[in-house]
């Protein structure tokens, strides 16, 4: 799936860096303990400063497990006794130094055990989040029906894999249908609403021949389940037959239609309609727009987190200009460049969920030109 999580950079590079740090981490407390011992050995600082050896096991609590902490602590205690004896420390001092170091070691070992337990719990939570991500935001293959497709998604919450933005792209008996939406609010309630919308959409997209009927089913479901102040902005689109694109906009940012000539136009809703979940408060109903969608055309759907992303000068990200700069015939490459530029625009961290979905109708390959017979072949036929 062409998705960027959070945000992000290359996840493989991040994992590789993390593995290298984890591999070097257990060695650091040992090196620090040996360096402190070497300084005492060469400098003759005296036994007063020997408790500084406790820095080794204290640091080991953040990089290693209880066994590693105990090992570093025993090393520090042994060095402390040896250095104290070399400097002629009394018996009471020789006993006090290892006792203090072993006390620090015991506390550090306990802290290391608790840290390891929290890391295991966090790993379990992350695995559940990954499973929820794949169940809610299913992977989008590079080709869906007759279209090429790509997705980039970033959740603003730290360590999050999913948020309040949603997308789906599904082939149905009535053509390929897609949705991009933005749930009001953040956190788990927004994720629950996104799951509700996507579940109804995927079911209705297969059942309803009319795209407006799909929207109506989502609206009815939200009216039963959402609070009075909750709503979802969304664009639902479909391609019922070759060369035709249907769009229903429910209070969402207008999609960008890119013609094969590279001309970009915003598909403004006509007429404007309220977000999903608020239809009961107004007499407006969404309308169905029908557009041509020829070979080479592309459609970009996105959420507010993209166009409302600000830089240090509080300037919004110019999506149309970014799309113009990075437009190509490969949707994944186009969205990858836009997503990287978006992260650079905000300084590396988005403050709102952001989703981008791009589909393209590929240009059919021209049939190979018939090969004309060469002069030698013609002459050979005549001689024969």
CATH number at residue 199: 3.60.40.10
Structural domain including 264 reads: 137-360
Residue 198 within any structural domain of the chain: yes
Tell me the mean pLDDT in the region 158-185.
85
Residue 249 within any structural domain of the chain: yes
| Domain endpoint, select from 131, 149, 182 | 131
- Residues 326 and 206 placed together within one structural domain of the fold: yes
Q: Smallest Cα–Cα separation from 271: which of 252, 292, 249, 246?
A: 249
Cis before residue 325, ω within 30 degrees of 0? no
Indicate whether 98 pLDDT > 90. Answer: no
Q: Is 369 exposed, middle or buried (0-12, 13-18, 19+ CB in 10 A)?
A: exposed
- Residues 170 and 44 placed together within one structural domain of the fold: no
Q: What is the model's pLDDT at position 185?
A: 75
Query: Is the dihedral angle over the CA atoms 88, 91, 92, 97 positive or is it negative?
Result: positive
* Residue of higher predicted confidence among 8 and 203: 203
Residue 201 within any structural domain of the chain: yes
Residue 378 within any structural domain of the chain: no
Q: What is the model's pLDDT at position 17?
A: 40
Residue 365 within any structural domain of the chain: no
Cβ atoms of 331 and 150 within 8 Å: the answer is yes
- Residues 105 and 166 placed together within one structural domain of the fold: no
- Residues 33 and 118 placed together within one structural domain of the fold: yes
Q: What is the model's pLDDT at position 79?
A: 73
Q: What is the model's pLDDT at position 368?
A: 60
| Distance, CA of 298 to CA of 237 (rounded, Å) | 13
- Residues 105 and 143 placed together within one structural domain of the fold: no
SS3 assignment, position 6: coil
Q: What is the mean pLDDT of the chain?
A: 80
Indicate whether 379 pLDDT > 60. Answer: no
Indicate whether 175 pLDDT > 80. Answer: yes
Confidence of residue 383 (pLDDT cuts 50, 70, 90): low
- Residues 69 and 185 placed together within one structural domain of the fold: no
Q: What is the model's pLDDT at position 8?
A: 40
According to the per-residue pLDDT averaged within each range, which of 95-104, 141-150, 346-355 is highest?
141-150
Over its C-alpha atoms, the chain yields an Rg (Å, rounded) of: 31
Residue 373 within any structural domain of the chain: no
- Residues 113 and 234 placed together within one structural domain of the fold: no
Q: What is the model's pLDDT at position 377?
A: 57
Indicate whether 15 pLDDT > 90. Answer: no
Q: Please give the tally of structural domains in the chain.
A: 2
Q: Tell me the CA distances in angstroms from 378 to 59, 160, 368, 372, one per residue in order.
A: 86, 70, 22, 10
- Residues 151 and 45 placed together within one structural domain of the fold: no
SS3 assignment, position 354: strand
Cβ atoms of 45 and 7 within 8 Å: the answer is no
Indicate whether 201 pLDDT > 90. Answer: yes
- Residues 211 and 291 placed together within one structural domain of the fold: yes
User: DSSP for 141-161?
Assistant: -SEETTEEEEEEEE--STT-S
Q: What is the model's pLDDT at position 2?
A: 41
Strands 244-250 and 232-239 come out as antiparallel
Indicate whether 336 pLDDT > 80. Answer: yes
Residue 375 within any structural domain of the chain: no
Confidence of residue 371 (pLDDT cuts 50, 70, 90): low
Q: Around Cβ 352, how many Cβ atoms within 10 Å?
A: 21
Question: HSE of 285 in the Cβ direction (CA atoms, 13 Å)?
Answer: 6
pTM of the model: 0.69
Cβ atoms of 209 and 178 within 8 Å: the answer is no
- Residue 183 pairs with which residues in a beta bridge? 232
Confidence of residue 44 (pLDDT cuts 50, 70, 90): low
Q: Which helix (H) or strand (E) holds 232?
A: strand 232-239
Q: Around Cβ 36, how many Cβ atoms within 10 Å?
A: 22
Q: What is the model's pLDDT at position 262?
A: 92
Which range among 55-69, 134-148, 209-223, 347-361 shows the weakest confidence by mean pLDDT? Answer: 55-69
- Residues 339 and 207 placed together within one structural domain of the fold: yes
Query: What is the share, in percent, of the chain residues with pLDDT greater than 70?
Result: 75
Q: Is 188 exposed, middle or buried (0-12, 13-18, 19+ CB in 10 A)?
A: exposed
Tell me the mean pLDDT in the region 125-148.
78
| Domain endpoint, select from 85, 100, 131 | 131
Confidence of residue 237 (pLDDT cuts 50, 70, 90): very high
- Residues 38 and 144 placed together within one structural domain of the fold: no
Which range among 143-152, 156-165, 173-182, 326-335 shows the weakest confidence by mean pLDDT? Answer: 156-165
| Domain endpoint, select from 110, 131, 152 | 131
Tell me the mean pLDDT in the region 340-364.
90
The tokens of 225 are what? 């389940």
Q: What is the model's pLDDT at position 6?
A: 41
* Residue of higher predicted confidence among 220 and 75: 220
Residue 1 within any structural domain of the chain: no
Residues near 139 by Cβ (< 8 Å), separated by ≥ 6?
A: 1, 3
The tokens of 157 are what? 């919450």
- Residues 212 and 118 placed together within one structural domain of the fold: no
């Amino acid at each position: 799936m062409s998705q960027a999580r959070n945000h992000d950079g290359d996840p493989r590079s991040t994992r590789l860096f993390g593995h290298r740090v984890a591999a070097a981490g257990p060695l650091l407390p040992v090196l620090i303990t040996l360096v402190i011992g070497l300084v005492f050995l060469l400098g003759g600082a005296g036994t007063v400063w020997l408790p500084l050896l406790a820095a080794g096991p204290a640091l080991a609590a953040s990089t290693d497990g209880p066994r590693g902490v105990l090992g570093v602590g025993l090393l520090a205690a042994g060095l402390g006794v040896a250095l104290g004896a070399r400097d002629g420390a009394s018996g009471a001092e020789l006993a006090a130094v290892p006792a203090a170091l072993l006390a620090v070691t015991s506390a550090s070992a306990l802290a290391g055990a608790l840290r390891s337990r929290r890391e295991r719990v966090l790993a379990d939570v992350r695995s559940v989040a990954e499973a929820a991500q794949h169940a809610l935001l299913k992977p989008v293959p590079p080709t869906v029906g007759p279209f090429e497709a790509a997705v980039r998604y970033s959740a603003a919450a730290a360590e999050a894999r999913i948020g309040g933005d949603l997308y789906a792209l599904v082939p149905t008996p009535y053509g390929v249908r897609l949705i991009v939406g933005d749930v009001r609010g953040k956190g788990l309630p927004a994720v629950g609403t996104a799951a509700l919308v996507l579940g109804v959409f995927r079911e209705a997209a297969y059942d309803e021949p009319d795209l407006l009927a799909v929207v109506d089913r989502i609206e009815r479901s939200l009216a039963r389940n959402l609070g009075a102040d909750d709503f979802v902005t969304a664009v639902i689109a479909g391609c019922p037959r070759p060369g035709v694109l249907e769009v229903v906009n429910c209070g969402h940012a207008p999609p960008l239609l890119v013609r094969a000539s590279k001309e970009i136009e915003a598909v403004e809703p006509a007429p404007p309609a309220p977000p999903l979940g608020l239809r009961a408060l107004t007499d407006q109903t969404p309308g169905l727009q029908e557009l041509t969608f020829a070979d080479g055309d592309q459609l970009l759907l996105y959420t507010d987190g993209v166009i409302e992303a600000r830089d240090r000068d509080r300037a919004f990200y110019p999506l149309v200009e970014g799309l113009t700069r990075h437009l190509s015939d490969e949707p994944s490459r186009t969205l990858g460049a836009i997503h990287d530029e978006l992260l650079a625009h905000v300084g590396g961290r988005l403050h709102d969920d952001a989703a981008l979905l791009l589909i393209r109708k590929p240009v059919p390959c021209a049939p190979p030109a018939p090969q004309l017979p060469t002069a030698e072949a013609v002459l050979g036929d005549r001689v024969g």
